Amino acid sequence: MTNPSNAQPADGKAWLGLFTVLALVLLVAMDGSVLYLAMPRVTASIMPTADQALWILDIYGFVVGSLLITFGNIGDRYGRLKLMTGGAIVFGLGSLGVAYSTTPESMIAFRALMGLGGATLLPSGLAVVSALFPDARQRARAIGIFAATFATGFAIGPIIGGLLLQRFEWGVVFLINVPVVLVFLVAAPVLLREVRPARYGRIDIPSLLLSFAGILLLTYSVKSAAASGLTAPQSMAGIVGVLALAVFLRRQTKITFPLLDLGLFRDRIFSIAILTGLLSLVVWSAAGYLSGIYLQSVLGYDVFMAALLILPGGVVLAATCIGTSHIVERIGRRAALVVTHALIALGLFMLLFTTTEAGAVVFVVSMMIAGIGYGLSFSLVAEIAVPAERAGAAGSIAETSNEIGNALGITLLGSLAALTFRLQGPGVAGTLDETLGHAGLTAATVLQAKEAFLSGMHLAVASGALLTLLVGLAAWRWLPRSAPTHDAVAPMPTCTPSASANSAAR
């Protein structure tokens, strides 16, 4: 093995390769933040039902979360660049299909195709970047740039989306993905090299199928129950999903080369960090989705002004991502995890002071406070130690928790808000945007609809804040006061809400 201290510095070609990967990183980050602001426009254009709107938002996360373990292992064994290239093609085709969708069903299907592509990109991107820089100092700098790019994407996504949506139809926010994917496909064979660690035997096909089916069926069942109540098909899907995951977990203890290293969960720090990654994405996605509707449909801001109000929180999140390593050095990992949950909960609780008449200032302050917590969370999860030779497979544990958390946030908390609206609203339609789209509404009906939505949003964010506080308390009581730093941790944590744990890849 090459001694990092004696490694040759990377040349200009390596840095060009880095920026080639960063183009995709920026795309994925922007795509995650721009859709929340685009949803009112999507709703007005293709008129999805309340359930279909939730599926449009969360099908991407469901597919990605279901396939991360599978594609992480495939990349480890057969080549991460090859997998990443195929994923970029699928992601581009899915983006093109979404942009020209004219029905809710087609948009859901193409968002699922984007998820298939995203599941191949996420476990491989940082491993490919790390391989470009054998020198430890340069690698740390490259990983830091990778982290800042992802965080910046979330900050500038709403602004770019707001500018585009002011001048074009909503499909343009997905069309911008296509030329970036084409540039990557042209540049990648020239600037990047394959990353294929030592093989660990044949891939266990039954494990791949069990993990995919179990995660997908269980998350579908939870989503359906939250949105529509208990039904026979929903319950059966949930039972089959639980059984499939149970068989999958048991199988991992029996086979020589498991897809999921269950021994990692014996580490309390690892377990709390995974739970943190899951929960922070639950509340982050729900708050982002509901806040986008609140700013536009309740307070009446246009999409660009709503984006400007979101920007301060995104900037704080990005800055916190970059500075997390210094914070952890000063206060320790245990305290940082506790502070993470406290700040997210405080930011969410502040949203309870929003009203139908005013709330922009409260919203900005809330997102800035919570943004510090989110930034700490995303980076702390990225510090989980995974063996370099299994970076894709082991890192997929954290990424799977993030993606499922992102989907479940909209599914569970979004459905809780939707249920409240149906119970307290005027009964004109199932969502606020559908209700306000009806002609001839009285002022009293409009006010009732806005108040019902706000009640649902308050209930959802309060529930998320309480869950966050509970996990923070568990971290305080469960983790040792001096949490050791794992040897395999990368020099700079990667602040990526959906591509986080690969920071340990070398």
Q: Does residue 465 surpass a pLDDT of 90? A: yes
Burial of 82 (0-12, 13-18, 19+ CB in 10 A): middle
Q: Does residue 372 surpass a pLDDT of 80? A: yes
With CA atoms as reference, report the closest residue to 119 among 377, 391, 505, 403: 403
Task: Kindly list the domain boundaries of the chain, sorted by start residue.
Answer: 10-203+259-504, 204-258
Q: Hey, what amino acid is at 327?
A: I
The share of the chain scoring above pLDDT 70, in percent, equals: 76
Number of H helices, E strands in the chain: 18, 0
Best-predicted range by mean pLDDT (201-205, 218-222, 265-269, 360-364): 360-364
Q: Does residue 456 surpass a pLDDT of 50? A: yes
Rg (CA), the chain: 22
Whether the predicted model's global pTM rises above the 0.75 cut: no
What is residue 267's predicted lDDT score, i.e. its pLDDT? 72
Best-predicted range by mean pLDDT (26-35, 67-76, 163-172): 163-172
Q: What's the sign of the alpha-carbon dihedral 136, 141, 142, 148?
A: positive
Best-predicted range by mean pLDDT (51-60, 327-336, 339-348, 480-489): 339-348
Bigger pLDDT: 132 vs 98:
98
What is residue 329's predicted lDDT score, i.e. its pLDDT? 75
pLDDT tens digit sequence for 237-277: 989 999 998 999 899 888 877 777 777 677 777 777 778 87
First-to-last C-alpha distance (Å) of the chain: 12
What is residue 229's predicted lDDT score, i.e. its pLDDT? 66
What is residue 393's predicted lDDT score, i.e. its pLDDT? 46
Mean pLDDT within 339-356: 92
Alpha helices in 253-332 (DSSP H): 268-293, 303-331
Tokens of residue 463, six digits: 């529930």
Q: Does residue 214 surpass a pLDDT of 80? A: yes
Mean pLDDT within 18-31: 80
pLDDT tens digit sequence for 280-313: 878 887 888 788 889 888 998 877 788 788 878 8
* pLDDT band at residue 223 under the 50/70/90 scheme: low
Is 165:173 a contact under the CB 8 Å cutoff?
A: yes
Tokens of residue 102, six digits: 């004219």
Is 122:138 a contact under the CB 8 Å cutoff?
A: no
Pick the CATH number of 10-203+259-504 from 1.20.1250.20, 3.40.50.2300, 3.40.50.300, 3.20.20.370: 1.20.1250.20
Contacts of 11 (CB under 8 A, 6+ apart): none
In the three-class reduction of DSSP (H, G, I as helix; E, B as strand; rest coil), residue 264 is classed as helix
Backbone angles phi, psi at 240, to 5 degrees: -65, -40
Is 87:33 a contact under the CB 8 Å cutoff?
A: no
What is residue 4's predicted lDDT score, i.e. its pLDDT? 44
Secondary-structure percent of the chain, ordered helix, strand, coil, rounded to 5:
80, 0, 20
* pLDDT band at residue 392 under the 50/70/90 scheme: very low
From its phi and psi, is residue 203 left (phi > 0), alpha (psi between -120 and 50) or beta? beta
Q: Does residue 182 surpass a pLDDT of 90? A: yes
